[in-house]
Structure 1
Amino acid sequence: MKINFIFIFIFSVFLESSLYSQVKHSPEGKKTFYKPTLNSNSNTIQHKGKLFHFEIENTFKKLPSLTLVFTDAKGNQQHFACCSDNGGLESSDDDARPRKEKGIVLGKNYLKIKMEDYNLKVGETYKMTIKGLKDDLFVNFKYAAL
Structure 2
Amino acid sequence: MEWTSVDLGNCPVVRALEVVGSRWTLLVLRELFNGVHRFEDIQQHLGVSTSVLSRRLAEMAEHGLVERLPYRQEGSRERLEYRPTEKAWELYPVVVGLMQWGDRHLTGPDGPPVALVETRTGKPVVAALVPVDTPTCAPADVTVVTGD
TM-score, normalised to structure 2's length? 0.25
More strand by share: 1
Higher helix share: 2
Larger gyration radius, structure 1 or structure 2: 2
Higher relative contact order (CA 8 A, sep 6+): 1
